[in-house]
Structure 1
Amino acid sequence: MTTETASAALLAALVEEAAKKSGLVWVDGQALWHAWADGALCLVGGPGEQRLPPGVTDGGSVTVTARSKDKGGRLVTWPAGVALLAPGSASWSAATAELKSKRLNSPDGEGLAGRWARECRVFRLTAAGPPSEHPGAVPTASGAAAPVPTPATTRHPAPAALPRLLTRRRSQR
């Protein structure tokens, strides 16, 4: 096994482990809940479910970012190809079984998969290349967007007594 092949295998394992352990991933900058099934990231969207970004369409491509479970920071970012799963297919059944186990506060319990088949879309996101960001190759810039200008912005520092006032309120409870 060459060094390049070993490195690619380690990065693929990192993508899988990060996706399995993280409750959320960012797809084109939007936080989404997901499940990992059959070697791919699976998403569901539609009425009563999460809104998916515009790039999540059959044949589309997106950028997926997973966070570190222990530190909470960006761990790995990779390009992914998107495929729509046909309701009732073997891959759809495997994906929905995993998604059902991750779905919190479902309004329809056991009828969830039926509703997804009728009203929602289930997508499979597979890695479409090596990760662009991973440990050892993370940009130094924060990636945060500049705040939107607003008249509600505070331009003065917080009063020096504020920490004492907040501490006093907690101790009186």
Structure 2
Amino acid sequence: MTETVSQALQDRALIEEATKKSGLIWVRGNAGPARALWHLWHDQAACLVGGGDGEQPLDDLGLTDGGTATVTVRSKDKGGRLITWQATVVEPAPRSEAWQSAVDELKGKRLNAPDADTLTERWARECRVLRLVPTGAADQRPGQMPADSHAAPPLATPAITRRPAPAALPKLLRRGRKG
């Protein structure tokens, strides 16, 4: 019993520290693939803002108030997956005390906002502020990682086109190495 409690406390500490230090987290909701999202650790949860005009997209992830999400955090120094944890999605009402507390922290981290003076009003009007609250022990952590890579094929997009390399390309590449 004490070993389980000890592991849960270690997981909680690792979740908090890794999420605080990471600039991006990968979030998978009830729909769609996991997406990298910028966030801020505040009040025992990963807080993020999205949707609306000019913010990170959240609508196709299936993140609903009271729903669940899987959060994957990378190692800051190595860049690989460090920990994966389950979260409960909480969407505070715009302009509520919890919403305002999260927004006050998030707006300081929002880089290059085109409307820095009216950012809070736009977020209240157009965007969603979400809190991802950890729910228990980590699914994956150092010493308990799956054997498969979790690599996913790239999503289909019209921007990807494959054409044969020009016949002169190998000669051009060889010439560049000599000079």
TM-score range, shorter chain: 0.7 to 0.9
Conservation of the 8 A alpha-carbon contact between 1:84 and 1:124 = yes
Q: TM-score, normalised by structure 1?
A: 0.84
Alignment of 1:121-132 (within 5 A): 121-132=128-139
Question: In the superposition, relative to structure 1, how do residues 122 and 167 fare at CA in structure 2: closer, same or farther (>3 Å)?
Answer: farther
Aligned residue number for residue 73 of structure 2: 66
Unaligned runs of 5+ in 1: 169-173
Name the SS for the 1:16 alignment partner. Answer: helix
Aligned residue number for residue 31 of structure 2: none
Structure 1: how far apart are the matches of 2:84 and 2:124? 30
Aligned residue number for residue 14 of structure 1: 14
Q: Which runs of 4+ in 1 moved over 4 A?
A: 147-151, 158-164
Structure 2: how far apart are the matches of 1:46 and 1:115? 11
Q: Deviations over 1:41-65 (max 9, x none)?
A: 1111122211014221112111100
CA RMSD of aligned residues (A): 2.6
Conservation of the 8 A alpha-carbon contact between 1:36 and 1:98 = no
Unaligned runs of 5+ in 2: 29-33
Alignment of 1:77-156 (within 5 A): 77-146=84-153, 152=162
Task: Tell whether 2:45 aligns with 1:34.
Answer: no
Question: In the superposition, relative to structure 1, how do residues 167 and 132 fare at CA in structure 2: closer, same or farther (>3 Å)?
Answer: farther
Q: TM-score, normalised by structure 2?
A: 0.82
* Paired residue total: 166
Task: Tell whether 2:57 aligns with 1:46.
Answer: no
**Greater shift in the superposed pair: 85-94 or 15-24:** 85-94
Q: Deviations over 1:82-111 (max 9, x none)?
A: 011112222111111121121111011131
Name the SS for the 2:61 alignment partner. Answer: coil
